[in-house]
């Protein structure tokens, strides 16, 4: 008979050590000032980067759009007073969202300003919406709508002007929908008598909108959470219909520790929520939170883990898992893959737990827990949230450099373009990942843009058929998943008495190897010192070999 086994092969491992992806191209962009990357959108022939330039004395700032081609070469650039959100419209134009101070000049943070531009950066129209009190900070989010318009939202704290209602408390979320000419279609307020901030909004297939909102201080309003009202920091999913009415809201959280939601994905069978959490109770009980404290001191606040939470359409939790280490870890962007799993782009300070690839970074031994600066952390999980592989991205000299993703474009399950930021480096510091073709960094500057395109080279699809006959090698492992120990029962082909058993982690590193003798036998492997994750167990006997997947849990 035939036995189907998963043969997971790490491509290019002899060229790119410890790597589950390769960098196809990269470039750095910057000025003598501080250059903060905020977003990236794909165009027909490349990308537009969005960010801010702040002088080193922090006395002035300006927004910048940088058009690059598909290989990272600069096509054009233009500046505006400020940019907080950029999205591509359905006809190929672009919408810039920014804090406007012209509608009401006395507002501190400004109101919602929208500027529609063409593919060359030329302004088509510009309008502002709000009132004399303005918004409450840089929490501006928006997305294009299927009818050629746009929906934008931000936190605010008073009614009046274009804003018809306020729920009270510290801050609510104001949502405005406009048509393609900038005329208001409707506006609505979402919130409670506590405090809310919006982190993402997207249009759904029925024409409505799904919002990811973090409730900072509990209260009463048109989004309610009875179960977790004891803690400050509750992740909410809020659904609006096409007219801006709240259809439903649902919350998740803990009774003792705060969490935040950064985004959500609509799945075929439910939702995927992602963000950061300090919780190991409530909805996060058993999720695997990695306990860590600020400065490594238990008297200080807990540090965050990345979390993924999958629910059904009735809001029942299917699974919830935490990822990270004892340092702070937070999700930036998550994408669903064709196999039902997810690719996660995050930022991390950790050097332990799930972040085993931190061994690639030089870390400051005097720093409290790990990496001196946040760096990019990319990992992939299967449809059950089990970690398949993980990889830190950045520069190893992290005492001077730090990188973390600000926005990501997904091209397909294998290819992504990441807009990140990094710190100026001197020639000769181009170690590890950052190695721009030319040094766009100016001596004396601090933060610059770092844009790079990667290809996932982990082979998920190589599923082979192995004949189960007297000349084949066999390998049975149990239990699987395993906790502390796993037993490998093997049979070698007739006439063979020697083989090698290896266990490989998600980075492609061998964590266990053992020579075995005899045509049949049993090998017991101690897993107690290994991190939770997915491993590959292989037995090789000359030209014969077989590979099985092993899941280590706690």
pLDDT band at 436 (very low <50, low <70, confident <90, very high): confident
pLDDT score recorded for residue 15: 26
Whether residue 39 contacts residue 51, with contact meaning beta carbons closer than 8 Å, is answered with yes
- How far, in Å, CA of 443 to CA of 332, rounded? 29
CB atoms within 10 A of CB 150: 22
Q: Is the pLDDT of residue 9 over 80?
A: no
CB atoms within 10 A of CB 426: 11
Closest CA to 259 of 215, 317, 202, 195: 215
pLDDT tens-digit series, residues 443-502: 666 788 999 999 998 766 543 334 344 457 888 888 888 888 899 989 888 888 889 999
- How far, in Å, CA of 108 to CA of 105, rounded? 8
Least confident piece of the model among 27-36, 438-447, 542-551 = 438-447
pLDDT score recorded for residue 468: 42
pLDDT score recorded for residue 171: 93
The dihedral sign for the CA sequence 224, 226, 231, 235: negative
Least confident piece of the model among 84-88, 241-245, 252-256, 365-369 = 365-369
pLDDT score recorded for residue 381: 93
The dihedral sign for the CA sequence 337, 340, 343, 346: positive
Bond preceding residue 479 cis, omega within 30 of 0: yes
Whether residue 118 contacts residue 138, with contact meaning beta carbons closer than 8 Å, is answered with no
| Structure-derived torsion over alpha carbons of residues 127, 132, 138, 143, reported in degrees to the nearest 10 | -40
| Structure-derived torsion over alpha carbons of residues 128, 133, 138, 144, reported in degrees to the nearest 10 | -30
Beta-strand ranges (E) seen in 180-337 are 184-190, 195-203, 209-217, 234-240, 246-251, 259-266, 271-277, 305-311, 317-323, 329-336
What proportion of the chain, given as a percentage, has pLDDT over 90? Answer: 52
CB neighbours of 316 closer than 8 A, spacing ≥ 6?
A: none
Mean pLDDT over 385-391 rounds to: 88
pLDDT band at 4 (very low <50, low <70, confident <90, very high): very low
Angular region, 460: left φ>0, alpha ψ -120 to 50, beta rest: alpha
For the chain, the average pLDDT equals 85
Q: Is the pLDDT of residue 374 over 60?
A: yes
pLDDT tens-digit series, residues 11-64: 222 223 345 788 899 998 988 888 889 999 999 999 999 999 988 777 888 999
Q: Is the pLDDT of residue 10 over 50?
A: no
Higher pLDDT, 74 or 372: 74
Q: Is the pLDDT of residue 349 over 80?
A: yes
Whether residue 289 contacts residue 281, with contact meaning beta carbons closer than 8 Å, is answered with no
Higher pLDDT, 446 or 190: 190
Give the pTM.
0.83
Q: Is the pLDDT of residue 71 over 60?
A: yes
Q: Is the pLDDT of residue 506 over 80?
A: no
Mean pLDDT over 193-214 rounds to: 95
Q: Is the pLDDT of residue 512 over 50?
A: yes
pLDDT band at 1 (very low <50, low <70, confident <90, very high): very low
Q: What is the CA radius of gyration of the chain?
A: 25
pLDDT band at 388 (very low <50, low <70, confident <90, very high): confident
Mean pLDDT over 179-185 rounds to: 97
């Amino acid at each position: 008979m035939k036995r189907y086994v998963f043969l997971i092969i790490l491509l290019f491992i002899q060229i790119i050590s410890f790597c589950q992806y390769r960098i196809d191209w990269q470039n750095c962009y910057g000025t003598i000032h501080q250059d903060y990357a905020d977003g990236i959108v794909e165009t027909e022939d490349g990308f537009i980067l969005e960010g801010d330039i702040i002088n080193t004395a922090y006395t002035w700032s300006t927004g910048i759009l940088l058009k690059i081609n598909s290989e990272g070469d600069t096509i054009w650039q233009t500046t505006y007073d400020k940019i907080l959100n950029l999205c591509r419209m359905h006809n190929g134009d672009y919408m810039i969202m920014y804090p406007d101070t012209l509608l009401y000049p006395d507002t501190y943070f400004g109101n919602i300003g929208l500027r529609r531009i063409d593919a060359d950066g030329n302004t088509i129209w510009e309008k502002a919406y709000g009132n004399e009190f303005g918004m409450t900070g840089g929490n501006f989010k928006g997305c294009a709508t299927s009818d050629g318009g746009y929906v934008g939202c931000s936190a605010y704290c008073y009614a009046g002007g274009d804003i018809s209602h306020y729920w009270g408390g510290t801050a609510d979320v104001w949502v405005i929908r406009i048509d393609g000419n900038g005329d208001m279609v409707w506006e609505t307020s979402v919130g409670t008598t506590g405090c809310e901030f919006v982190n993402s909004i997207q249009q759904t297939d029925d024409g409505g909108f799904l919002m990811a909102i973090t409730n900072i201080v509990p209260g009463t309003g048109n989004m309610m959470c009875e179960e977790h009202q004891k803690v400050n920091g509750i992740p909410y999913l809020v659904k609006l219909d096409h007219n801006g009415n709240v259809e439903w809201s649902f919350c998740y959280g803990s009774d003792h520790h705060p969490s935040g939601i950064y985004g959500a994905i609509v799945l075929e069978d439910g939702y995927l929520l992602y963000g950061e959490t300090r919780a190991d109770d409530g909805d996060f009980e058993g999720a695997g939170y990695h306990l860590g404290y600020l400065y490594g001191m238990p008297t200080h606040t807990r540090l965050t883990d990345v979390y993924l939470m999958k629910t059904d359409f009735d809001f029942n939790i299917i699974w919830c898992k935490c990822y990270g280490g004892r340092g702070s870890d937070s999700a930036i962007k998550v994408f669903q893959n064709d196999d039902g799993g997810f690719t996660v782009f995050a930022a991390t300070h950790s050097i332990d737990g799930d972040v085993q690839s931190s061994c690639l970074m030089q870390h400051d031994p005097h720093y409290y827990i790990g990496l001196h600066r946040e760096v990019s952390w990319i990992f992939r999980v299967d449809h059950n949230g089990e970690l398949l592989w993980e990889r830190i991205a950045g520069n190893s000299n992290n005492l001077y450099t730090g990188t973390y993703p600000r926005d990501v474009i997904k091209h397909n399950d294998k290819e992504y373009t990441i807009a990140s930021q990094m710190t100026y480096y001197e020639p000769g510091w181009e170690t590890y990942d950052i190695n721009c073709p030319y040094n766009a960094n100016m001596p004396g500057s601090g933060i610059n843009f770092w844009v790079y395109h990667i290809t996932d080279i982990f082979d998920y699809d190589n599923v082979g058929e192995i004949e189960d006959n007297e000349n084949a090698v066999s390998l049975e492992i149990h239990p699987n998943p395993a906790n502390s120990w796993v037993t490998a029962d093997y049979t070698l082909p007739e006439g063979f008495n020697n083989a090698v058993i290896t266990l490989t982690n998600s980075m492609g590193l061998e964590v266990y190897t053992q020579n075995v003798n005899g045509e049949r036998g049993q090998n017991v492997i101690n897993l107690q010192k290994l991190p939770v994750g997915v491993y590959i167990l292989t037995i090789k006997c000359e030209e014969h070999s077989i590979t099985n997947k092993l899941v280590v849990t706690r």
